[in-house]
């Protein structure tokens, strides 16, 4: 996405936009990002994240509901690099990531709740393209998400 996204401006212009009520940290090199949503629901297993970042991103954003767990990282440097190479705009993760210095140098938007050095087990668990809910917001596949240092918002329609 080429336009600079300001979530405060977007919510002022579009009062129907829903703010996720969590304090995300912006870890990616791309501080402002947004696009159509692909959802993943998983708990301490990033098998579906690994599968998704290997596909063409086409400017979309992967929203991962990891249940808020900070025990295992749902994204690391290798998956972030693959996501950037495949054209994903970014990831919003209700959970933890690792390799933050490398991710900070990767041309990708990444917002997460925190960090941990521990990787996940790859058990093939989770669901993709399902409606998820966290931080007071329900997010359906194909909706739009916008993120910056002010927060993360969701809309049924594109706002840019």
Q: Binding site for substrate: which residues?
A: 76-79, 98
96 SS3 class: strand
Q: Are 59 and 87 in contact (CB under 8 A)?
A: yes
Task: Measure the CA–CA gap between 60 and 129, rounded to whole angstroms.
Answer: 13
Backbone phi and psi for residue 95, each to the nearest 5 degrees, phi listed first: 170, -155
Task: Measure the CA–CA gap between 67 and 9, rounded to whole angstroms.
Answer: 29
Q: Annotated binding site for Mg(2+): which residue ranges?
A: 99
Q: Annotated binding site: which residue ranges?
A: 76-79, 98-99
Concatenated DSSP letters for 75-86?
--HHHHHHHHHT
Dihedral sign of CA atoms 110, 54, 1, 19 in order: negative
């Amino acid at each position: 996405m080429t336009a600079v996204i300001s979530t405060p401006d977007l919510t002022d212009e579009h009062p129907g936009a829903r703010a996720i009520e969590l304090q995300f940290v912006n870890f990616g090199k791309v501080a402002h990002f947004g696009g159509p949503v692909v959802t993943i629901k998983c708990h301490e297993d990033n098998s579906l994240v690994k599968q998704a970042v290997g596909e063409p991103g086409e400017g979309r954003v992967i929203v991962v509901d990891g249940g808020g767990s900070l025990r295992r990282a749902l994204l690391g440097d290798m998956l972030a690099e693959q996501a950037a190479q495949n054209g994903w705009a970014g990831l919003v993760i209700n959970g933890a990531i690792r390799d933050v210095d490398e991710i900070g140098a990767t041309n990708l938007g990444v917002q997460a709740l925190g960090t941990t050095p521990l990787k996940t087990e790859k058990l093939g668990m989770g669901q993709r393209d399902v409606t998820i809910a966290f931080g007071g917001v329900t997010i359906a596949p194909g909706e739009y998400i916008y993120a910056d240092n002010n927060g993360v918002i969701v809309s049924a329609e594109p706002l840019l």
